[in-house]
Amino acid sequence: MLLTIDVGNTQTTLGLFDGEEIVEHWRISTDPRRTADELAVLMQGLMGSHPIISAEDQVAGLAICSSVPAVLHELREVTRRYYGDVPAVIVEPGVKTGVHVLMDNPKEVGADRIVNALAANHLYGGPCIVVDFGTATTFDAINERGDYVGGAIAPGIEISVEALGMRGAQLRKIELARPRNVIGKNTVEGMQSGILYGFAGQVDGLVERMARELAKDPEDVQVIATGGLAPLVLGEASAIDVHEPWLTLIGLRLVFERNKPAA
């Protein structure tokens, strides 16, 4: 089985693949203070405690991308100490992805965004736009040839909620939930409405503008949503065509297949 690990700024997502099928997945908090030993115990505990994964289901490969350098350093140690005889691919410069990055400085683009571009083009073809609802909300544009042509970065939903609670004298942290109405009848509902429908409007507006630049016919552009907070906005953002929660993990599987040593 292939273990894929996507380290984000707030959460880390792990997925276990049997061939092309993701058979299990987990989401844990990203903690740069965790040591390699702690990470290994956590990973092995998650896999060992699940009823559908038998003792014979050994990890035969690892694919990793990380937005947090401190965690990536410890994951390198995990692969060395605990999976030393297992092929491991870490997405970084020099790793083959098949994605041409048409940016002023390609090294600025996060590994997860390149992996998302690969997976989106593989699953849906180009042109397409990936909207990733994570710590930041990122918009990534892929042309008809599968090239990564650029994108946009906006503050994430949780960051915005925290900022309102910290900087607003009479505001506070709220649950991220759909309010009864767009016109809120109290402060909490007003904040929920502003966050939910405000972000939905942001998605629709940015996607519309990007699609006009990306293709002669904007209707040809597929829009794929991913990330832990995507379900909150799915029903309100009309621009989103597809929800693919494990897009990054699928991309990691594809990168592993392109880079694994020959048998």
* Residues that are catalytic: 112
Q: What secondary structure letter does DSSP report for 54?
A: -
Contact 258, 63 (CB under 8 A): no
Task: Report the sign of the C-alpha dihedral through residues 130, 131, 132, 137, in that order.
Answer: positive
Contact 65, 91 (CB under 8 A): yes
CA–CA gap between residue 82 and residue 38 (Å, rounded): 12
Phi/psi region, residue 95 (left: phi>0; alpha: psi -120 to 50; beta: rest), is: beta
Give the list of residues 6+ apart from residue 75 with CB closer than 8 angstroms, or none: 5, 7, 36, 39, 64, 66, 90
Q: Given the structure tokens 């939905």, which residue do they identify?
A: 200
| Residue 223 parent element (H or E) | strand 222-226
Q: C-alpha distances in angstroms, 32 versus 8, 14, 27, 156, 165?
A: 11, 16, 15, 20, 25
Task: Report the sign of the C-alpha dihedral through residues 18, 21, 27, 32, in that order.
Answer: positive
Query: Which residue(s) pair with 90 in the sheet?
Result: 64
